């Protein structure tokens, strides 16, 4: 077993929460509680009231699912929703068509397999995210998941940090290549070793999206790993006490870090930490070892680095070769490969997955990937441990369920928030824009020729679609009741993190795809060998792109 | 005066307040007007009038608003019978840090009383952060309060209430 298994204590925590919520829902349905009284209670259980129905956001801690959990999500979507779910940029899943009266049963069903909706909303510490390749990639210094699990437990129902000024998001990465957008989080943690070989974390604080995007500055280069929880507690305590509460738009920790300055903020954290009884907060070595052991060492077979079956199929089947080229990544173990499932088939809704697809992927996981599925912040799924010998069979199943799009990190692998199709906060739709662009660039040869290009679309300034860190970011705005889209360029959520810059005036919906086409043509005309769109943009600047897009504007 | 719920010997019970809240523009009531002569003052009022009252043998409590620093009171804590961190809105969570600091850093042993927008939905957090008395405005009974405070059979982290964290339970 390679995943953390909930013990009696973990399970009873979920049961207790589900029982409490059942009582609260009953009081709401009987009229004993008004919607005003019920709202904060339902929000603590991930239940939002959206444009058309209730939306339930289910936590997927650090984006890791077992086959059984994915089967349960499929069941829930079939029995209680319209037969699909939507994976989010927080590596959670949302069900958009939920009836209030069903929610206690849903929580009970999920608790049986260790799933829940705890802290998926509200001003608390949200789901921690990590590298979807954790435990599989040779790039990582160490497995980040035990630390994520330690954070999950510590932050669950933390009595001091349940009523923070605003929501709080933590990401943990352990590779040089950052697949978590760590610097765009309230706290980004990067595992590293110091000169003495001691394991520790680089601590970045104050990143975030929203209307004032920030990349979090590093406040400590190397925090000894065993002190992670006490140091987090010190940061949270400083934030809880000093973060602004007078204005919801200035309440995130990024505003506090910016107003104090990273150095002064770091000094206050260090002072708080120095005075703290660390031993009372940090996990004892035995518990860290227990958690680490629970992720286990997988019994990988000893295999040759190359597979005859894989090579033969690649030669014979160009579609398979393309999938292998674009959607797989090297595994740390010879003979294995990391497989990405892009929930981005052109024309489909980014991040959506049907119940039948979930069941099929769960079966693939249990048969071919040690019962392990990951969710990525780009709204895709990963089978982290597939034998090269089995890749053909996995590809065939994915093709049969319509999820073999060979477009990982290509132009049609678009991040999009639910937008005005679902969300009460949105100014504009995001999904149809994503669908239209993806269909325009559906031709796989052309998409490969364009290369890595990350388009991210948000339906409003809250930036759930991460448009600030898109190579091309698209933001929906409302102009006198009409949907317009502001394009920005040059963002990145990876290790070369940057915030994108607005290109020019917002465009009406019908012109967006054309503008993307123009941006791509401009890039292809200017790029030098091996350059990605982002590299070319950084080299030549915004001017040529701006001229091209607005040249034919009236 | 709302009902007071106090934790006594680990049990939630309805209790006599023993203190009255005194606004900054009110005179300090004489001793026999309140049951035990206890008064709860603002931090500012305490800093001006507190020492004299304590010297008279009065029981003095201090109300701390969320933006006020409990650190400013550290030196006086041994003489203060009660600290009342205020919740102007239930969403304002600063008082939890105030209480946690009092218990964990300053080893404060007196009563920590939750005042303001206090309802049993916060009982779990309050009790765990070291509050030992509550002035609920939602009409909660001690039984309801106790149930809400112990909604979970286990806790994941050490806090001011001495419940064993999950990792301690596991090591047994």
The interface predicted TM-score (ipTM) is: 0.96
* A123 located within any domain: no
Give the closest-approach CA distance of B61 to chain A in angstroms.
Answer: 22
Q: What is the pLDDT of residue A12?
A: 96
Q: What is the pLDDT of residues A305-324, one digit of tens each?
A: 999 999 999 999 999 999 99
Q: How many CA atoms lie within 13 A of B160 on its CB side?
A: 27
Whether residues A160 and B159 touch (CB distance < 8 A) is answered with yes
* A425 located within any domain: yes
| B91 to A378, A457, B22, B94, B95: CA distances (angstroms) | 32, 31, 25, 9, 10
Judging contacts by C-beta atoms under 8 Å, the chain B residues touching residue A284 are 167, 171
Tell me: do A281 and A350 sit in the same domain. no
Judging contacts by C-beta atoms under 8 Å, the chain B residues touching residue A241 are 94, 97
CATH label of the domain that carries residue A217 = 3.30.413.10
Q: What is the pLDDT of residue A210?
A: 87
Tell me: do A350 and A326 sit in the same domain. yes
Give the closest-approach CA distance of B7 to chain A in angstroms.
Answer: 18
Tell me: do A269 and A377 sit in the same domain. no
Judging contacts by C-beta atoms under 8 Å, the chain B residues touching residue A161 are 93, 96
CA distance linking residue A545 with residue A406, whole number of Å: 28
User: Is the pLDDT score of A150 beyond 70?
Assistant: yes
CATH label of the domain that carries residue A46 = 3.90.480.20
Contact predicate A291/A150, CB 8 Å: yes
For residue B135, give the DSSP letter: -
End residue of a domain, out of A345, A372, A400 = A400
Nearest to A434 by CA among A341, A506, A352: A352
Using the Cβ of A277 and the Cβ atoms of chain B, whether some distance falls under 8 Å is answered with yes
Which pTM was predicted?
0.95
Q: Find how far residue A25's CA is from the centre of its chain.
A: 29
Judging contacts by C-beta atoms under 8 Å, the chain A residues touching residue B105 are 275-277
For residue A63, give the DSSP letter: G
Residue B35 pLDDT grade (very low, low, confident, very high; cuts 50, 70, 90): low
User: Is the pLDDT score of B32 beyond 80?
Assistant: no
CA distance linking residue A420 with residue A425, whole number of Å: 8
Judging contacts by C-beta atoms under 8 Å, the chain B residues touching residue A153 are 156-157, 166-167
Nearest to B82 by CA among B49, B57, B113: B113
Whether residues A160 and B121 touch (CB distance < 8 A) is answered with no
Neighbours of B170 (CB within 10 A): 15
User: Is the pLDDT score of A243 beyond 90?
Assistant: yes
Contact predicate A469/A184, CB 8 Å: yes
Contact predicate B26/B44, CB 8 Å: no
Give the closest-approach CA distance of A40 to chain B in angstroms.
Answer: 9
Give the closest-approach CA distance of B136 to chain A in angstroms.
Answer: 15
Whether residues A287 and B96 touch (CB distance < 8 A) is answered with no
Judging contacts by C-beta atoms under 8 Å, the chain B residues touching residue A160 are 93, 96-97, 100, 125, 129, 159
Residue A1 pLDDT grade (very low, low, confident, very high; cuts 50, 70, 90): low
Whether residues B155 and A286 touch (CB distance < 8 A) is answered with no
Contact predicate A394/A142, CB 8 Å: no
Residue A508 pLDDT grade (very low, low, confident, very high; cuts 50, 70, 90): very high
Whether residues A160 and B154 touch (CB distance < 8 A) is answered with no
End residue of a domain, out of A111, A140, A173 = A111
Using the Cβ of A268 and the Cβ atoms of chain B, whether some distance falls under 8 Å is answered with no
Contact predicate A118/A58, CB 8 Å: no
Tell me: do A347 and A261 sit in the same domain. no
Whether residues A283 and B167 touch (CB distance < 8 A) is answered with yes
A 80-139 residues inside an 8 A Cβ radius of B: 123
Using the Cβ of A281 and the Cβ atoms of chain B, whether some distance falls under 8 Å is answered with yes
Tell me: do A422 and A511 sit in the same domain. yes
Using the Cβ of A156 and the Cβ atoms of chain B, whether some distance falls under 8 Å is answered with yes
Using the Cβ of B90 and the Cβ atoms of chain A, whether some distance falls under 8 Å is answered with yes
Contact predicate A195/A144, CB 8 Å: no
Contact predicate A460/A428, CB 8 Å: yes
* A119 located within any domain: no
End residue of a domain, out of A372, A400, A428 = A400
Tell me: do A81 and A217 sit in the same domain. no
Give the closest-approach CA distance of A374 to chain B in angstroms.
Answer: 25
Using the Cβ of B100 and the Cβ atoms of chain A, whether some distance falls under 8 Å is answered with yes
* A423 located within any domain: yes
Residue A424 pLDDT grade (very low, low, confident, very high; cuts 50, 70, 90): confident
Tell me: do A290 and A264 sit in the same domain. yes
What whole-number percentage of chain B has pLDDT above 70?
95
Judging contacts by C-beta atoms under 8 Å, the chain A residues touching residue B92 are 163, 245
Q: What is the pLDDT of residue A396?
A: 98
Residue B172 pLDDT grade (very low, low, confident, very high; cuts 50, 70, 90): confident
Whether residues B105 and A275 touch (CB distance < 8 A) is answered with yes
Tell me the two tokens of residue A139. 């790039």
Give, in degrees to the nearest 5, the angle at Cα A94 between B151 and A56: 40
Q: Give me the mean pLDDT over the A283-310 stretch.
A: 93
Using the Cβ of B157 and the Cβ atoms of chain A, whether some distance falls under 8 Å is answered with yes
Q: What is the pLDDT of residues A55-91, one digit of tens each?
A: 999 999 999 999 999 999 999 999 999 999 999 999 9
Using the Cβ of A162 and the Cβ atoms of chain B, whether some distance falls under 8 Å is answered with yes
Average pLDDT over chain A, rounded to an integer: 95
User: Is the pLDDT score of A285 beyond 60?
Assistant: yes
Q: What is the pLDDT of residue A353?
A: 98
Judging contacts by C-beta atoms under 8 Å, the chain A residues touching residue B159 are 159-160
Rg (CA), chain B: 16
- Comparing CB atoms, the residue among B90, B96, B121 nearest residue A160 is B96
Tell me: do A102 and A140 sit in the same domain. no
- Best of A159, A246, A280, A281 to disrupt the B interface (most B CBs within 10 Å) is A159
* A405 located within any domain: no
User: Is the pLDDT score of B1 beyond 60?
Assistant: no
User: Is the pLDDT score of B157 beyond 60?
Assistant: yes
- Best of B96, B114, B119, B139 to disrupt the A interface (most A CBs within 10 Å) is B96
Chain A CA closest to residue B104? A277
Whether residues B167 and A284 touch (CB distance < 8 A) is answered with yes
Tell me: do A370 and A476 sit in the same domain. no
Q: At what angle do helices A431-440 and A509-526 cross, to 10 degrees?
A: 40
CA distance linking residue A158 with residue B9, whole number of Å: 24
Q: Give me the mean pLDDT over the A216-240 stretch.
A: 98
Domains of chain B: 4-171 (3.20.20)
**Residue A339 belongs to domain spanning:** 308-400
Measured distance between the N- and C-terminal CA atoms of chain A, rounded to whole angstroms: 62
Whether residues A284 and B154 touch (CB distance < 8 A) is answered with no
CA distance linking residue A408 with residue A447, whole number of Å: 10
Q: Give me the mean pLDDT over the A437-462 stretch.
A: 96
Residues in CB range of B43: below 8 A, 6 or more apart: B62, B63, B64, B65, B68, B72, B73
Q: What is the pLDDT of residues A345-354, one digit of tens each?
A: 999 999 999 9
Chain B CA closest to residue A150? B156
* A386 located within any domain: yes
Please tell me the total count of domains within chain A. 4
* A406 located within any domain: no
Residue carrying structure tokens 């009081």:
A27
Dihedral, CA of residue B129, residue B133, residue B139 and residue B142, to nearest 10? 90
Tell me: do A377 and A289 sit in the same domain. no
* A276 located within any domain: yes
Q: What is the pLDDT of residues B59-80, one digit of tens each?
A: 999 999 999 999 999 999 999 9
Nearest to A48 by CA among A86, A19, A3, A7: A86
- Comparing CB atoms, the residue among B92, B96, B156 nearest residue A156 is B156
Residue A552 pLDDT grade (very low, low, confident, very high; cuts 50, 70, 90): low
Three-state secondary structure call for residue B136: coil
Judging contacts by C-beta atoms under 8 Å, the chain A residues touching residue B93 are 123, 160-164, 240
Average pLDDT over chain B, rounded to an integer: 93
Tell me: do A100 and A185 sit in the same domain. no
Tell me: do A290 and A312 sit in the same domain. no
CA distance linking residue A554 with residue A479, whole number of Å: 18
Q: How many cross-chain Cβ pairs, A to B, lie less than 8 Å apart?
A: 98
Whether residues A159 and B159 touch (CB distance < 8 A) is answered with yes
- Best of B164, B166, B170 to disrupt the A interface (most A CBs within 10 Å) is B166
Residue A406 pLDDT grade (very low, low, confident, very high; cuts 50, 70, 90): very high
């Amino acid at each position: 077993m390679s995943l953390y298994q909930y013990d009696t204590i973990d399970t009873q925590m979920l049961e207790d929460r589900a029982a409490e919520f059942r009582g609260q829902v009953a009081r709401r349905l009987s009229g004993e509680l008004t919607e005003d009284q019920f709202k904060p209670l339902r929000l603590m259980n991930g239940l939002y009231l959206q444009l058309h129905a209730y939306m339930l956001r289910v936590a997927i801690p650090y984006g890791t699912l077992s086959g059984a959990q994915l089967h349960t999500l499929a069941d829930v979507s079939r029995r209680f929703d319209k037969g699909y779910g939507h994976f989010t940029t927080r590596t959670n899943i949302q069900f958009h068509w939920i009836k209030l009266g069903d929610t206690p049963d849903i929580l009970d069903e999920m608790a049986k397999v260790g799933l829940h909706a705890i802290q998926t909303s509200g001003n608390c510490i949200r789901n921690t995210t990590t590298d979807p390749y954790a435990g599989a990639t040779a790039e990582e210094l160490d497995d980040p998941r035990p630390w994520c699990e330690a954070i999950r437990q510590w932050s669950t129902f933390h009595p001091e940090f349940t009523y923070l000024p605003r929501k709080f998001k933590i990401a943990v990465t352990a590779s040089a290549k950052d697949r978590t957008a760590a610097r765009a989080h309230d706290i980004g943690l990067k595992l590293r070793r110091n000169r003495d070989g001691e394991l520790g974390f680089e601590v970045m604080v104050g990143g975030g999206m929203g209307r004032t995007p920030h990349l979090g500055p590093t406040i400590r280069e190397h925090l000894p790993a065993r002190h992670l929880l006490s140091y987090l507690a010190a940061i949270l305590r400083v934030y809880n006490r000093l973060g602004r509460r007078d204005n919801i738009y200035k309440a995130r920790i990024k505003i506090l870090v910016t107003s104090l300055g990273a150095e002064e903020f770091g000094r206050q954290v260090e002072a708080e930490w120095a005075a703290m009884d660390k031993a009372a907060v940090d996990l004892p070595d035995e518990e860290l070892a227990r958690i680490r052991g629970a992720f286990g060492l997988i019994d990988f077979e000893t295999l040759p680095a190359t597979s005859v079956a894989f090579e033969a199929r690649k030669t014979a089947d160009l579609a398979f070769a393309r999938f292998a080229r674009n959607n797989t990544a090297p595994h740390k173990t010879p003979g294995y490969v990391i497989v990405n499932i892009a929930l981005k088939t052109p024309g489909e809704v980014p991040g959506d997955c049907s119940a039948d697809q979930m069941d099929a992927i769960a079966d693939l996981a249990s048969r071919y990937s040690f019962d392990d599925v990951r969710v990525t912040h780009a709204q895709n799924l990963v089978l982290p441990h597939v034998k090269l010998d089995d890749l053909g069979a996995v590809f065939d199943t994915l093709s049969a369920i319509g999820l073999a799009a060979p477009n990982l990190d290509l132009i049609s692998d678009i991040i999009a928030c639910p937008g005005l199709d679902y969300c009460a906060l949105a100014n504009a739709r995001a999904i149809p824009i994503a669908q239209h662009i993806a269909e325009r660039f559906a031709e796989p040869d052309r998409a490969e020729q364009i290369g890595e290009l990350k388009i991210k679309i948000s339906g409003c300034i809250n930036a759930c679609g991460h448009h600030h860190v898109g190579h091309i970011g698209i933001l929906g705005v409302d102009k006198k009741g009409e949907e317009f889209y502001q394009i920005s360029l040059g963002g990145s959520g990876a290790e070369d993190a940057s915030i994108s810059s607005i290109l020019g005036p917002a465009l009406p919906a019908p012109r967006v795809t054309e503008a993307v086409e123009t941006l791509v043509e401009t890039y292809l005309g200017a790029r030098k060998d091996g350059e990605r769109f982002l590299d070319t943009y950084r080299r030549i600047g915004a001017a040529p792109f701006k001229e091209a897009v607005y040249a034919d504007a009236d | 005066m709302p009902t007071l719920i106090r934790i006594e010997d680990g049990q939630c019970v309805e209790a006599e307040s023993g203190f009255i809240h005194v606004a900054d523009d009110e005179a300090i009531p004489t001793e026999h007007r309140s049951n035990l002569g206890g008064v709860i003052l603002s931090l500012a009022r305490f800093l001006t009038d507190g020492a004299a009252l304590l010297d008279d043998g009065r029981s003095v409590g201090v109300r701390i608003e969320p933006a006020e620093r409990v650190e400013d009171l550290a030196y006086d804590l041994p003489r203060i019978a009660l600290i009342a961190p205020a919740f102007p809105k239930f969403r304002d969570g600063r008082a939890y840090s105030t209480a946690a600091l009092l218990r964990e850093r300053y080893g404060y042993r007196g009563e920590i009383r939750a005042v303001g927008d206090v309802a049993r939905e916060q009982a779990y957090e309050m009790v765990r952060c070291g509050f030992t008395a509550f002035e609920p405005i939602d009409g909660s009974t001690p039984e309801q309060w106790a149930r809400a405070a112990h909604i979970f059979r286990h806790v994941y982290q050490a806090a001011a209430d001495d419940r064993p964290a999950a990792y301690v339970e596991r090591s047994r």
